[in-house]
Amino acid sequence: MKKVFMVLGVAALSAVAGGVTAWTLQQHGETHIEYVEREVAATPSLGTHFTAYEEGRYPDLTYAAENAVKAVVNIEAVQRVEMPQRGQFGYDPFLEFFGIPQGYGRRGGGHGEPQYQERKAGGSGVIISEDGYIVTNNHVVDGATKLRVKLNDGRTYEAELIGKDSATDIALLKIDEKNLPTLPFGSSDALRLGEWVLAIGSPYNLQSTITAGIVSAKARALGALSNNPADFSIESFIQTDAAVNPGNSGGALVNARGELVGINTLIQSQTGSYIGYSFAVPESIVKKVVVDLKQYGIVQRALLGIGFQVIDQEFIDRMGEETGIKEIGGCYVGSVEEGGAASEAGIRKGDIITHIDGVPVNDAATLRERIARHSPNDKVKISVKREDKVKLFEVTLRNQAGKAELLKKEDVDVAESLGGKFVDAGERLCRELDIRGGVQVAEVKQGGILARARVKQGFVITHINDRAVYSMADLKKLTGKVSSIDGVYPNGRSASYVLVE
């Protein structure tokens, strides 16, 4: 502020007194500020950006804050974790020498009973209906065995998990109560760069914390939700400079009218606390996922069936000569899935997608988000540039099984229900194991089918329900209930797992 006062003071008083020192402005700040405002207002040549504060010219966020905070809740996720089994007195090499199990002497038998520990984590959520539906992040509730919701007025409820979606990091909860305060949906499409927004949540368990900032960018893709291709991760974040910290996850991003325009999800920071930017899942995606989870129990995910690359300067430098593309803009179709939505509509490899439903498509996040807001069997209009001619295609979107129909709740996402991260088994590994192909388990997540079946990391899945799984593409297409898993471990040991309910 000293520097600002110095500049303003010198600009207004130089003709009269030859300048004013910084010390004078510091000691007599209020008097000189008022004087400068009057002088500048009467001096058009200095520009209107030096005018004084005028009520009504700046956003009043009090209405939005005071109303929206009533619908934002604190979520406590309790996870029951099995602890490693040890003897009553810990590890004892004397017992091991005589072949006595380390659990000997422990209450519950020679091998010991499993012991569990409760771990608690915190997050936020938003009430979206008077009868108790609450939206939050998937990572807030993932793996939880018990969920508690604390309202802004202090009331606490046990919550039921209605459904969750790792691809968008959105989950839907339900509490048994009526006439609750709600937050209406706004329009994330209508958000403008520089527009004021509020972030409301429970950072560090400080419930009902409100911070403000502006929209710094839209349609950001960070590659943060998942590195697993089977997850269909969709990122098109709203970037803001509103302060968001651990515990804000699942909380509300609100516009100046008090409408929900996003769910706060990520922080970009060197420390994990707020020193940078925060990112929110836009309302356009949140609303679609919530409606699907409430109505169907699963997300009705629509797929275009293409592989693509954004045409930027890097693409032109690398592939411009090969493709004949000289200008940036649009998305290059590098592959088309046979029998997929794009293929059936007539889109071909080498085409350049320029618009979807009239919206320009110049980055991956926008393309994925425009498709993600639709369901299988929906029709979209896609503008394609082919050999310097523009063609318009009407594309009927399909589900992950390649069909133009809605899925049923029983048609679970196999990759999701397995509970893990997966990669294609490489050619070298397939040769060593003498298999045609497969999907290797890179990570086993707690609570999934793999964990319950005691499948170990590194296992190569070759068949699910007696259906061959040669690649990640095959895994993505599976939607049925998993009853059997067959495969082989890297040491060559074959294994079959039959699931019994």
- Angle between helical axes of 283-296 and 364-372 (0-180°, round to 10): 30
Q: How far apart are CA 115 and CA 84, in angstroms?
A: 8
242 near 184, Cβ under 8 Å?
Answer: no
Max Cα distance, the chain (Å): 99
195 near 242, Cβ under 8 Å?
Answer: no
Q: How far apart are CA 185 and CA 258, in angstroms?
A: 9
Q: Which of these, 264, 303, 309, 301, lies nearest to 283 by C-alpha position?
A: 264
How many of the other CB atoms lie within 10 Å of CB of 392? 9
Decide: helix, strand or coil at residue 293.
Answer: helix
Please report, in angstroms and rounded to a whole number, the separation of the first and last CA atoms in the chain. 68
Catalytic positions = 139, 169, 249
Q: Which residue has the tokens 């004084």?
A: 52
Tell the burial category of 11 from Cβ atoms under 10 Å away from its Cβ (0-12, 13-18, 19+): middle
Supply 198's token pair: 């509020």
* Bridge partner list, 468: 463
Q: How far apart are CA 312 and CA 247, in angstroms?
A: 37
Q: Which residue has the tokens 């969920």?
A: 147
* Bridge partner list, 119: 79
Q: Which of these, 465, 457, 418, lies nearest to 441 by C-alpha position?
A: 457
Residues 6+ apart with CB under 8 A from 171: 135, 136, 137, 138, 140, 141, 142, 161, 163, 164, 165, 250, 293
Q: Which of these, 193, 201, 405, 396, lies nearest to 296 by C-alpha position?
A: 405
Q: For 429-492, what is the HEC assignment? A: HHHHHCCCCCEEEEEECCCCHHHHCCCCCCCEEEEECCEECCCHHHHHHCCCCCCEEEEECCCC
Q: Strand locations in 315-473, DSSP E?
A: 331-336, 352-356, 359-360, 379-386, 389-396, 420-424, 439-444, 460-464, 467-468
119 near 81, Cβ under 8 Å?
Answer: yes
Decide: helix, strand or coil at residue 62.
Answer: helix
340 near 304, Cβ under 8 Å?
Answer: yes
